[in-house]
Amino acid sequence: MLDGDLIGRCGEKGEGPIHFTNGPHRAYIDSEESIYVAEVGGNNRLQKFARV
């Protein structure tokens, strides 16, 4: 178990941006600290969350 404070949360079940219709399968963070979340099973998409 990891110790620490939750600093943010993103995503819930749904059809719109920042939503997941199935389950997120894998997440990656690039050198610019953008987060990529791959979703499989149904829509098979990749979402990018860029730091603003």
What average pLDDT does the segment 16-45 reach?
A: 82
Q: What is the pLDDT of residue 30?
A: 93
pTM of the shown model: 0.63
Among 27, 26, 23, CA closest to 43: 23
Q: What is the pLDDT of residues 7-26, one digit of tens each?
A: 776 677 777 767 777 777 88
Which residues does 36 contact at the CB level (< 8 Å), separation at least 6? 27, 28, 29, 30, 46, 47, 48, 49
Question: According to the model, what pLDDT value does residue 41 have?
Answer: 76
- Residue 9's contacts (CB-CB under 8 Å, 6 or more residues apart) are none
Question: What is the chain's mean pLDDT, rounded?
Answer: 80
